[in-house]
Amino acid sequence: MLNDFLTVLGLVASSLLLGAGLLHLIPRLGSLGKRLAAALCRAPWLDLPITYFTAAPLFFGPIYAGWIGLLGAVCGQVAAVCIWTVLHEAANRKRISGDRKHTRIVHVLNKKVGRFRNHSAVWITAGAVPIFWVVRVAQYLLWPPIRMLVRFPKYDAGEWVNCSRQKFEGLVGHDLIWCLYCDWMTGIWSLGTEMLRNVESFWCPIRFQHDKKCANCAIDFPDVNGGWVDARSTMGDVASTLDAKYPGPGGVNSWFGYQSRQAVLTVDGRTLADGQSQAGDAKPGP
């Protein structure tokens, strides 16, 4: 059992470090390498290295050695992050010299809450990585059929799911790896929220009974205050709202505040909001 654990740990750690080295190498391979590196920083191609580093080890470990293999895979991932952090900081020693221009996030926060608390908390956040990966898979598998069935908007995932913080001057080692994690995570969560805005406004455009919940949810679901009917209204009001907000056959059933609804359209010489237009009757105005 111990041999299986150590074998999986070693294989995962070495494979991830090799993959990280390859990602560092690719941008140095001329113009083609730079284009490839740019593609790998944006969905859908970003999903390949993300899956390699986050999900693949969690499948490999149990397949190879059951539960002890899963533990070995997780420990291998942790080891790879720690080793890469040390190597990256050693290679960028001049960029973390300690002056104000090159100060580090980790050092500032260590002073604020303590080194142990800060590092413990940030590693706990790593436990959410599989959750975000599953959300991304759901965006691939569930959203397209839902979108086609009820004509929800089509999204360019790359506008949300991408990584660019590696370009920020001064992010090294610990700071860089965790900022890239947040970069990826916030994009996935924001895209998922955007998709859910359509779901809520299409099937359940009714404000909540609790005012505090309405206030809290309005941050991510603006239609709470931008079109959903009052909690004391009737089903007739709900039906009227759906009739008014959605165009009918052939139209795109976006949430009420979606950007396409803000455009001014021309219909038979008249201008009106997109939400008022009928499919096939409108064309964009100048």
Residue 131 confidence (pLDDT): 96
Distance (Å, rounded) from C-alpha 35 to C-alpha 7?
36
Give 227's contacts (C-beta < 8 A, 6+ positions apart).
201, 205, 241, 245, 256, 257
Mean pLDDT in order along the chain per 10 residues (286 residues): 95 98 96 96 97 97 96 98 95 69 84 96 96 97 96 95 92 95 97 96 96 95 94 95 88 87 47 39 32
Among 66, 44, 53, 50, residue whose Cα is nearest residue 17: 53
Residue 248 confidence (pLDDT): 80
Residue 92 confidence (pLDDT): 87
Give the other-Cβ count within 10 Å of 9's Cβ: 23
- CA–CA distance from 77 to each of 58, 160, 211 (Å)? 9, 26, 44
Residue 262 confidence (pLDDT): 60
Q: pTM (2 decimals)? A: 0.84
> What are residue 194's phi and psi, to 5 degrees?
-60, -40
DSSP-derived secondary structure for the chain: -HHHHHHHHHHHHHHHHHHHHHHHHGGGSHHHHHHHHHHTTBTTTTHHHHIIIIIHHHHHHHHHHHHHHHHHHHHHHHHHHHHHHHHHHHHTGGGGSSSGGG--HHHHHHHHH-HHHHHHHHHHHGGGHHHHHHHHHHHHHTHHHHHHHHTPPP--GGGTSB--GGGSTT--THHHHHHHHHHHHHHHHHHHHHHHHHHHHHH--B--S-HHHHHHHTTT-GGGTTTPBPTTS-HHHHHHHHHHH---TTS----TT-GGGGSEEEETTEEEEGGG--TTT-EE--
Residue 169 confidence (pLDDT): 85
